[in-house]
A and B are shown apart, each in its own frame.
Chain A
């Protein structure tokens, strides 16, 4: 048997043309293999029905359905590849482009008919275009503006106020004796711990770094009473919670992109893509021993944005 086969046009071939013969050298063998594949496929598809009916484990559903479709598919692909006309066949590509005369006719129709419409009616066209254009622009306002509120000042402040109690996720007020040196807890201004905004914006990480008042930098002399430091938990890179505290290195680590902030010197970023220190919340400890905030953060928390100075 020669491998020499020229591609021929499909149309007009006689039934005994070698191009229409099966591609397989031993079609009977292929038939048997394909029959086996289709049989396995059929059995598995039925098995899928049984497994589904009996509410079997998910992996059995995947195995029977996937295996069934796979073997049915293999049977069909093999059928097409080995038992159908082996070809190769050829067909002509006809040029996609029309004759130049037809193109000219189209251009002429566009220009002449179009010209007849526009002729001396440019004002009408201008008005129509202007009206539709204006609608397009005006329609943008309700479409966009209705989607949400204006940012206004909401990105500039949190719910921490002068005298806010720091509470944990369950709402329990943090007292001075609660944290051992070297431990941390996530706190919220009292009343917001279960709100979306409290969770997303006000979240603050409270660290006990020593037993004495701690000063992170000049101007923050009173912010760290009895070794309690509070930083915004929002990474200044992309707003992930800075959830890992590396106690020995005194680093807060953001698990998203590995920014690291040194808690002893005002959470200055020591590593990674974060551009700014975590804002520090000024704390005081009241007469009853509760940890409270002196005021809101002195700068916007979280990632950067255009309006931030």
Chain B
């Protein structure tokens, strides 16, 4: 029927102007209607700034986490069943240990590239959360969370929370002496919650510590539930980015109504794909050269054993620091106990910090009464109060981080633990109040400087024949040139016929109305 009909034969099915590419586009477009949208996507402009790369580090270390994590899950056995080890690592031969620990040791030594994959996974997790925090700081200090992007900020804070939780879950899976101690502390923190704490702890652990199901539960949470939610949220985060378009720093030619930068195809695609390879490469180099979490040295977890200098991964350290320096203010009355020495630093404090992060866009709007749509970023110096507030919180977190090493510091500097403890208590308490005015003053000063926020242009010094010198400003850089933008209508990226063909909307091309 249509096979033999003349109209069917006449349809532009075969090779178009661009050969196979035209053909593929036609086939796809006839079924899915993608040509216009995909074209728009390829032309999408991404603003250029080094700080916009931070989010890419997060995304690509997430990719590495997923890939290496799948590899590890093929060999790891999530079981607390006790076995006697007779694997490839001889110093542990004959020791009783959980299958989880035994399989982690064996996947490190008996599986080809297993150690590399495990160390890459651990490094990628640390880099993932680290770059997340820096990315979040960039978004905060430049005001990128303002209307219309509050929702994406909320998604981002949720992703950070989930990343920290999943980092802890994954850190716990090898069931070595250090991570097992971490699980015990987590159990005690759950126990400390007033009213429902014991139920919470018993239901998470399936009974009194250590229970028999915790590794199995942590495993399925770590490899399926949390990553699935995170994957969905990452998708939403990026979809919102595409929908709302990226923010940009102010500069000549950049307005609230446009985006200036490089197009998706091919420039941004090349750079970002290359960057994926670079991030993966750096993580692989770290995994190959920088030992991380050598669990075979810690030994299997036994609840009655402990080692010196027990510290969590870096992103949990602020909680550990808070637990170390908080005074022993347990509340006993009315037949009940509220272990405030645990509840406040480990439950209330993170609740407040993340609550503040969630609430910040709304809080700021309440102060500024700013209801406008913002696509141009703030320079941090232009918003001294916000900048100072952010610096104050970061200073507090940094001091809590340092406080998680009180014993190591005391040992290293030959100080008494008491001195270090009190020093850290004082530093933690005063750090936000010291940091705020300093950051505020610096921001004000920077903002008041002549030419603040602009690139400095050099002077070109010329010597005349008579020997006199004259300094003239060098040509301005691209971003500093003030000119009106001229519209240019023809929708082809590279015009094949060159300058001979004048752009005419009637010639099969159209001015795209988006």
Contact = CB atoms under 8 A, between A and B. Distances in A.
A305 B185 contact: no
Contact of A96 (B199, B243, B305, B478): B243
Contact of A91 (B181, B199, B258, B499): B258
A267 B235 CA distance: 54
A239 B184 contact: yes
Contact of A6 (B253, B275, B302): B253
Contact of B485 (A85, A90, A200): A90
Contacts of A151: 198-199, 201-202, 208
A147 B204 contact: yes
Contacts of B38: none
A13 interface: yes
Interface stretch (A65-73, A116-124, A210-218): A65-73
B372 to A, nearest CB: 12
B288 A52 contact: no
Contacts of A78: 274
A304 B330 contact: yes
Interface string B368-387: 00000101000000000000
Interface in B491-512: 491-496, 498-499, 503, 512
B51 interface: no
Contacts of A95: 373
A246 to B, nearest CB: 11
B191 to A, nearest CB: 5
B181 to A, nearest CB: 6
B209 A239 contact: yes
The B contact surface, by secondary structure, is mixed
B275 A73 contact: yes
Contacts of A81: 271
Interface string B458-495: 00000000000000000111110101011111111111
A32 interface: no
B205 interface: yes
Interface stretch (A54-62, A101-109, A130-138, A286-294): A54-62
B73 interface: no
B276 A73 contact: yes
A308 B304 contact: no
Contacts of B121: none
Interface string B240-276: 0001110000000110111111110011111101111
A89 B197 contact: no
A276 interface: yes
B403 to A, nearest CB: 10
A243 B305 contact: yes
A52 B113 CA distance: 7
A7 B263 CA distance: 12
Interface residues of A, number: 99
B198 A77 contact: no
A10 B197 CA distance: 60
A154 B211 CA distance: 13
Q: Which of B283, B335, B341 has most chain A Cβ within 10 Å?
A: B341
Interface in A25-76: 52, 55, 58-63, 65-76
B450 interface: no
B45 interface: yes
B11 interface: no
B189 to A, nearest CB: 7
Nearest to B346: A238
B267 A4 contact: no
B153 interface: no
Interface residues of B, number: 131
Contacts of A203: 303-304
Interface string A209-243: 00000000000000000000000010001111101
A71 B275 CA distance: 10
B113 A61 contact: yes
Contacts of A15: 494-496, 498-499
Contacts of A62: 116, 119-120, 284-289
A40 to B, nearest CB: 12
A189 interface: no
B447 interface: no
B266 A305 contact: no
Interface string A243-286: 11000000000011111000000000101111110000000000
Contacts of A271: 417-418, 421
B280 to A, nearest CB: 5
A208 B426 CA distance: 39
A77 B274 CA distance: 5
Nearest to A302: B188
Contacts of A8: 485-486, 488
B310 A255 contact: yes
Interface of B: 43-45, 48, 112-113, 115-116, 119-120, 148, 181, 184-185, 187-189, 191-199, 201-212, 243-245, 253-254, 256-263, 266-271, 273-289, 302-310, 320, 323-330, 332, 335-339, 341-342, 373, 375, 406-407, 417-418, 421, 475-479, 481, 483, 485-496, 498-499, 503, 512, 514
11 contacts: A2-B475, A5-B478, A58-B288, A62-B284, A62-B286, A63-B288, A92-B258, A93-B245, A147-B203, A201-B208, A255-B307
Given A11-B488, A92-B258, A259-B328, 9 more contacts: A93-B257, A96-B148, A199-B303, A200-B208, A240-B181, A240-B310, A255-B306, A273-B327, A306-B336
Interface of A: 2-16, 20, 52, 55, 58-63, 65-81, 84-85, 87-96, 144-145, 147-151, 154-155, 169, 186, 188, 196-197, 199-201, 203, 233, 237-241, 243-244, 255-259, 269, 271-276, 302-309
